[in-house]
Amino acid sequence: MTDLTTLLEVGGPLVALGGGAAYARTKYPAAYWSTVGLPISVVRLLGSYGSVMEACGLTVAPSRWRALAVKATTRREVRPVPPRRGIIRPTSTGLRLRLRLAPGQEPADVAASAERLRHAWGVHAVYVTPVKPGVIELRLVGFDVLRRVRMPRKLDAGLLRVPVALREDATPFVRDYRTIPHQLTLGATRSGKSMYLRHLITGLARQPVALVGIDCKRGVELAPFADRLSALATDPEQAAELLPVLVKEMEDRYDLIKARQNIAPGTPAEKITSDIWGLPESERPVPVVVFVDEVAELFLVTTKKDEERRDEMVTQLIRLAQLGRAAGIYLEVCGQRFGAELGKGATMLRAQLTGRVCHRVNDEASAKMALGDIAPEAVAAACAIAPERPGLAVAGDTSGGWSRIRTPCLSLGDAARICQESAHLVPDVPALKPFRPDVPDVPAGSVEIPMPVVQPLPATD
């Protein structure tokens, strides 16, 4: 009886602790990492760093002076030298440490062994980032941060910069329009494409930016944000009227830039500009971001007469993509599929869209349309996105780099509320006033009047 009592007293808490840790690892991975996973991984890294580096082939022969010093002082066998390790910095999602590479090594050598390092140190993933020549940063991620997305609290935002998703290495994915002016976003139905668009709109809604929407699905995607939109077209006919106005606005801005360039020969070089960002703030026109949802609706035609209108709209979109950056006009083109079969000009327009985001698609050809011409190895990653993970996407650009990202959940009601609260920030762009969407007032009968806290008593004589 005494042995059973002792077993229950000792084993009961251990079983409860182990079960609680297993439950936290499944349901609350961030809490498990901070309490259990982080100390274990640090001990593994410190205790096996040299042997793991040697097993991965990341060690080099020591210098002659180091070998002589070891033999003279310890008389031990001279072993290969691993990269010099910096201070281990824990984070809420993993670990970070810097390595100084040995002579003859390059970052690609460490990146090739990332999978081995992951298993040796018991973490979810290992990523290698060059810092400067001879120095790299190892980012160890303790758990799958894309399973339940939690954006970092401190985000580097700014004008035309929107932290819209989380990368698989636990860093924020920031949509920077001044760096990547135009982008193509593809995704099948219920792939998370609309969620990505909501985050972009709500992020820009709080900034002094004019938002223009072209939603040929009768406005079902962009109409809830009408309070913050400067212009909205809900069918191809309205889009055919809006696009020439945007092109004319772009040309007027180029005239403004040219007038600024016509200056005296003795003017300092910093006052000469080739885009709106070099203009004085008092003269600088407001940036314009154009959202085109379901771009295929602009290409599809049913009659011969519609073909002329289609060709004009495509030409105007191409002009905006080619020349809009300097005028502060940026394109965000979305759709389920965007290839040459849409018609004349589709491939040329796609070539002008620097950024690419591909959500889950229905076939490999759609993934190739988005990523095949900039990062062929990312096509397989886009095709492997499961339907059970909406919002997961592969983001790349024309530099060839790519990464997996996932947007956090944002309901349509919350996004519409943010746009309503930011309605006073709609800038004054005279050319877009005829296309400003009508925002209906709330009917008086639909407002729910709260009941008073204190019920009135009937008057008595």
Residue 416 confidence (pLDDT) = 93
Residue 297, pLDDT > 80, answer yes
Q: What is the CB neighbour count within 10 angstroms for residue 74?
A: 9
Residue 440, pLDDT > 70, answer no
Tokens standing for residue 225? 């944000």
Residue 231, pLDDT > 80, answer yes
Residue 80 confidence (pLDDT) = 75
Residue 118 confidence (pLDDT) = 92
- How many Cα atoms sit within 13 Å of 402 on the Cβ side? 24
| Average pLDDT, rounded, for the chain | 83
Residue 124 DSSP code? S
CA distances from 290 to 262, 335, 424, 454 (A): 30, 14, 19, 51
Residue 344, pLDDT > 50, answer yes
Confidence of residue 37 (pLDDT cuts 50, 70, 90): confident
Residue 453, pLDDT > 50, answer no
pLDDT tens sequence across 239-254: 999 999 999 999 999 8
User: Letter for the amino acid at 407?
Assistant: T
CA 336 to chain centre: 19
Q: Are 125 and 169 in contact (CB under 8 A)?
A: yes
| Rounded Cα distance, 261 and 453, in Å | 67
Most confident stretch, 21-25, 139-143, 295-299, 367-371: 139-143
Confidence of residue 263 (pLDDT cuts 50, 70, 90): low
For the segment 301-314, the average pLDDT, to the nearest whole number, is 83
pLDDT tens sequence across 81-135: 788 899 999 988 999 999 999 888 899 999 999 999 999 998 999 999 999 999 9
Confidence of residue 26 (pLDDT cuts 50, 70, 90): low
Residue 264 confidence (pLDDT) = 58
Residue 445 confidence (pLDDT) = 39
Sheet containing strand 183-186, strands side by side: 172-176, 161-167, 402-406, 392-396, 355-358, 183-186, 329-335, 288-293, 210-215, 231-233
Residue 274 confidence (pLDDT) = 81
Residue 450, pLDDT > 50, answer no
Residue 460, pLDDT > 50, answer no
Residue 58, pLDDT > 50, answer yes
Closest CA to 275 of 296, 290, 256: 256
| Rounded Cα distance, 296 and 369, in Å | 14
> Which are the contacts of 314, defined by CB distance < 8 A and separation ≥ 6?
298, 299, 343, 344, 345, 346, 349
For the segment 155-160, the average pLDDT, to the nearest whole number, is 82
Residue 330, pLDDT > 90, answer yes
What 3-state DSSP class applies to 207? coil
Residue 451 confidence (pLDDT) = 44
User: How much is the pTM?
Assistant: 0.84
Tokens standing for residue 325? 């950056």
Higher local confidence (pLDDT), 275 or 271: 275
